[in-house]
Amino acid sequence: MEKLGSSSNFIESSKPYFAMISLQFGYAGMNIITKVSLNRGMSHYVLVVYRHAFATAIIAPFAFFFERKAQPKITFPVFMQIFILALLGPVIDQNFYYAGLKYTSPTFSCAMSNMLPAMTFVMAVICRMEKVNMKKVRCQAKVVGTAVTVAGAMLMTLYKGPVVEMIWTKHIHPRKSYVTDTTGTGEKHWFLGSIFLIIATLAWASLFVLQNKALNTYKNHQLSLTSMVCFVGTLQATAVTFVMEHDPSVWKVGWDMNLLAAAYAGIVTSSISYYVQGLVMKKRGPVFATAFSPLMMIIVAIMGSFILAEKIFLGGVLGAVLIVIGLYSVLWGKHKENMQKTEEEIPEAIKGPQINGHGNGSISIMEDIEANEGELKKLANDKLSSLAITMPSQEPQMILVTNPQQKA
């Protein structure tokens, strides 16, 4: 039983890790498919609209069937939270990210996304969700990690360097590379794409912080929150597309890579990812939810070099290394902070909760244990008493010794 209990506890504690790792594979596939679609001429504004239309259509029925009871009231502050979440995620974040992806490469875009934990930490400090005490080592680690992450992003933006040849790319000679043939890889385009990616990551970090606040209202209605954000984001993205795209032909999508990109992004990286991220943040917080982005960069680098014959530059490699070092410095500080919070919460749990503010209703965990032990002793004594009656008379002394209460 102990082994079963420990294994079930291990599985339960491992769920957030498995969920975030699975999401990184989903994000990696989205980056590759979307890069091909954008380089074939699809407008990223239209892609954002179709992506969230798919996401709304997929997740709204689940929200209706599973969470239609006890829905939170949509007051004006709640509506504004949903409106801003949709503006930050579907509109600002994804439009700028797709624009940056078009001007750079999937691996570079993923590496720049690793700035997300550092930016999330800064936003959390601004919103007073994180406290900084520079006298403590864990806070120093988070601050230094943030600075190193930003330095890595600046290195990737300002320095490109020579091409780094991978072992397996020497034997790959594709007819056409959707990265090198159709993407502007000049310094001007590369720098502009980097700026777009930084803006997108900043919007994404703001989304995480605000979503963590919104989950206080939708604690038991994450599907409903996700579907409303996707729906409002679809409306906002449609308005932006009408302003930015004046050619009606950009809305045409056939049974091709463009449709696959929109459907995949909508189902996997919008509806499913928003919901899973919400569940993970509810248990572990926004910083933990952003901790696994380096895994996506590795997956995309391998897939991109195989499928797209993507070129990886020295500046990108060095910057990515700095970003990962800074990332895990932030995560180490966060881990130490969580450990201290856990240690501080244990004495509070032992003190026990007050019932209706009365002292006689204050029952501690230790008192419960002692009460249970007393009941067990009483039950054992009763059992021994019954045994003294039913046992043969030649061994009464043993029973009387083991049950002193029967001497009377």
Q: How far apart are CA 110 and CA 25, in angstroms?
A: 12
- The candidate with the shortest Cα–Cα distance to 289, out of 342, 334, 341, is 334
Can you list the pairs that 70-78 forms with residues at least 24 positions away whose Cβ atoms lie under 8 Å?
70/220, 71/221, 71/224, 72/217, 72/218, 72/221, 78/214, 78/217
User: What per-residue confidence (pLDDT) applies to 382?
Assistant: 52
Residues above pLDDT 90, as percent of the chain: 10
Residues above pLDDT 70, as percent of the chain: 74
User: What per-residue confidence (pLDDT) applies to 384?
Assistant: 39
Report whether pLDDT(129) > 80. Answer: no
Judge contact between 59 and 234, C-beta under 8 A.
no
Distances (CA, A) of 13 to 8, 9, 212, 222, 336: 9, 6, 20, 20, 17
User: What per-residue confidence (pLDDT) applies to 134?
Assistant: 79
Report whether pLDDT(141) > 50. Answer: yes
Torsion angles phi and psi, residue 164, rounded to 5 = -100, 115
Mean pLDDT check: name the lowest of 71-85, 177-191, 317-331, 373-387. 373-387
Report whether pLDDT(284) > 90. Answer: no
Give the pair of three-digit tokens for residue 188. Answer: 């001007």
User: What per-residue confidence (pLDDT) applies to 83?
Assistant: 93
Average pLDDT for residues 356-380, to the nearest whole number?
A: 49
The domain locations on the chain are 14-332, 373-407
Report whether pLDDT(96) > 90. Answer: yes
More confident residue, 47 or 89: 47
Torsion angles phi and psi, residue 358, rounded to 5 = -95, 140
Distances (CA, A) of 65 to 58, 62, 221, 394: 12, 5, 11, 71
Report whether pLDDT(103) > 90. Answer: no
Average pLDDT for residues 334-362, to the nearest whole number?
A: 59
How many C-beta atoms lie closer than 10 Å to residue 99's C-beta? 20
Report whether pLDDT(399) > 70. Answer: no
User: What per-residue confidence (pLDDT) applies to 199?
Assistant: 92
Cα distance between the two ends of the chain: 41
Q: 335-356: b or e for each residue (b if 16 or more CB lie within 10 Å)? A: bbbeeeeeeeeeeeeeeeeeee
Mean pLDDT check: name the lowest of 299-308, 323-332, 361-370, 380-389. 380-389
How many C-beta atoms lie closer than 10 Å to residue 198's C-beta? 19
Average pLDDT for residues 378-395, to the nearest whole number?
A: 41
Q: How far apart are CA 192 and CA 213, in angstroms?
A: 32
User: What per-residue confidence (pLDDT) applies to 87?
Assistant: 92
Average pLDDT for residues 247-260, to the nearest whole number?
A: 86
Distances (CA, A) of 170 to 275, 309, 350, 373, 395: 41, 10, 63, 71, 89
The three-point CA angle 130-133-137 to 5° equals: 105
DSSP 131-185: ---TTSHHHHHHHHHHHHHHHHHHHHHH---SEEPPTGGGG---S--TTTTTS--
Report whether pLDDT(398) > 50. Answer: no
* pLDDT per position as a tens digit, 12-58: 777 888 888 888 888 888 888 888 888 888 899 999 999 989 989 98
User: What per-residue confidence (pLDDT) applies to 224?
Assistant: 86
User: Is the pTM value of this prediction over 0.75?
Assistant: no
Burial class (CB in 10 A: 0-12, 13-18, 19+), 248: exposed
